[in-house]
Structures are given as C-alpha cells and as structure tokens.
Amino acid sequence: MAAIQVITPAPWPEYELIDSGNFQKLERFGDFILARPEPQAIWDKSLSDQEWERQAHASFRRDRQSPERGDWQTKPEMRDPWFVSFRQEGLSLKFKLALTTFKHVGLFPEQADNWAYIHKKVTALKANVARPKVLNLFAYTGGASLAARQAGADVTHVDAVKPVISWARENMDYSELDNIRWVVEDAVKFVRREVRRGNHYNGIILDPPAYGRGPDGEKWVLEEQINDLLKSCADLLDRSDFFFIINLYSLGFSSLILDNLMQPLFGTIEGTEWGELVVDDQAQKRLPLGVFYRFASTL
C-alpha cells in the first residue's frame, strides 16, 4: 500500500500564504493581500493583528445571520475583479478573481499540483489516445478543466451553478483556450445518465463540496452520497488508458476514508498517490486544505 503523502504546491510567484492562525489566513493573490476565514487554522497567528490590518487590502467578515455568507471590507486600492497567471509544468493559464459573499475568490491554489498532474497525464495518454476524454465534476471555475484542455483533452465541465460556469468560460477565454463542453447540471444526475448511455472517459476529476444544491434543488451531502457517486464513476472510467483524481475538503475527513472508498472499486494501481494537500505559510506552519487520491495508467 502506498504511503500517505503530504503535497505542497511548487513555488508560484502569483500566490503565497503569508500567515495563518486564529481561524484565519492571510494570502497574496497577485498584487493583493486578503484576510479570510480558515476553520482549520486553530493555532495562533505569527504576525500581530496590527500587521494583518496593515497588509490586507481586503478582509472578510461573516454575517452574524449566516454561517456561510459575509462581506468584504476593502481598502481604496483594492481592485475587484483582478487577474493572476499560472505558468508551471508546461501550463500557461490566466484566472479572473473576485470577492464573493461566500469568502471564495474563484481559485484554490492548493490544487496547483493537481493541475500539473492532469497536464502530465493527459499528455502521456495521447501516446495511445488521440483526444483523451476528461470529465470534471463539481468543476467550479475550471482550473482542472483548463489544465486538461491545454494538454489536448476533450473536456466536459460539470457544475450545478450557472454563474460559476460563466466564470469558468471567462477563464477559458483569458487562457486562450476553446471548445470545453459546459454542462449546468447536478453531478450525480449527469453521471448516472452517462453510465446508462454507455459512455466512458479517460480522465475523471472530482472536487465535491461538503454540502451543495443542484440547479433543481437537488441536495448533495458528501458523507451520504460520495460512495454511490464513486461507484458510478468507476463504471465511466476507461480501464485501459485512464487517470482519476478526487479531492475532498471537509473537516474531519481523513485520506484513509478515501483509500477505503477507492480500493474496492479500483483495486491496487501502481503509482497511486493519496494524502493531504497543504500550503506552508511564511512561518512554516503547514495549513491542511484537503485530502486527495489520484492514480493513472501512465506513470
């Protein structure tokens, strides 16, 4: 059995985690520094509150009436939206960022290593498959979709939120890519229909939330539905030329749970990697930002 890994993204000039602690994180995206909640950062900050206030161009404050929503306090020099570029491992991508009422900005930097993995695996698959088919579920603003498309895959991007699909389409245009297939639909419904149709994909990527709603009010609860969804994904995955990635960000969700879910469905595949995605701040505190499991037919 492969050992649990801890993966940090390679140095990225457009992003850094400056500090973390007291259930917050201080990050730089391009020219702007943001302070926002982070439930896993239960330790003390390394920098003073005054230094956080001095550095942050925008700070997120939760709405007392909502556990999820809030608003941003911004300094005059803060732009919204703004842009960052990502150039690594043969990738050249551009993302639009914006301050949302859910604290997110449209980008999860800890996923950068997965983007590089996707690009590498699609490139390798092309030795046997002219246009590898890749399915990205819960695809959000499209970092993984862009990485697969830039490597030459036919990409199907599925998300239940129409404005998020529009955001991902903008990122495709900014990255000078084209021809991604956009699907606004509940991921569970889409996958079941694809199984009935007998379709298969060379690559499948999942990044499901802990909770969510589909476009017609469908309810998604990670713990209750992930096992059945993975079973359907196993039916969709090509068994000759393939890669598979799943990321989970849910408090208390161990990578051991992922291993227990995946082994009965896919067995032992050489080169399987699983563990935690983390980002180090300037004081070398390691902030865990999710668990992952990934494997491929091409090493």
pLDDT interval class at 232 (50, 70, 90): very high
Q: What mean pLDDT do residues 106-129 have?
A: 96
Residue 112 lies in a domain: yes
pLDDT tens readout for residues 188-208: 999 999 999 999 999 999 999
Specify the pLDDT at position 261: 92
Helix (H) or strand (E) holding 28: strand 24-29
Do both 87 and 70 map to the same domain? no
Residue 169 lies in a domain: yes
Residue 148 lies in a domain: yes
Which of 20, 53, 74 corresponds to the end of one domain?
74
Residue 1 lies in a domain: no
Question: How many structural domains compose the chain?
Answer: 2
- Rounded to whole angstroms, the Cα distance separating 104 from 118 reads 23
Specify the pLDDT at position 299: 59
pLDDT interval class at 267 (50, 70, 90): confident
Do both 68 and 115 map to the same domain? no
Three-state SS for 140?
coil
Tokens at 286, concatenated: 């390691």
What is the span of the domain harbouring residue 49? 6-74
Do both 59 and 108 map to the same domain? no
| DSSP letters spanning 158-188 | EES-HHHHHHHHHHHHHTT---PEEEES-HH
Helix axes 255-266, 222-236, angle to 10 degrees: 30
Q: Tokens 């800890």 identify what position?
A: 110
Do both 34 and 108 map to the same domain? no
Three-state SS for 79?
coil
pLDDT interval class at 16 (50, 70, 90): very high
- Provide the sign of the torsion angle of the four alpha carbons 249, 252, 255, 260, taken in this order: negative
Residue 139 lies in a domain: yes
CATH number at residue 44: 2.60.40.1180
**What one-letter code names the amino acid at 170?**
E
User: Measuring CA to CA, which residue among 239, 278, 273 is closest to residue 258?
Assistant: 273
Which of 74, 94, 122 corresponds to the end of one domain?
74
pTM: 0.94
Whether the predicted pLDDT of 1 surpasses 60 = no
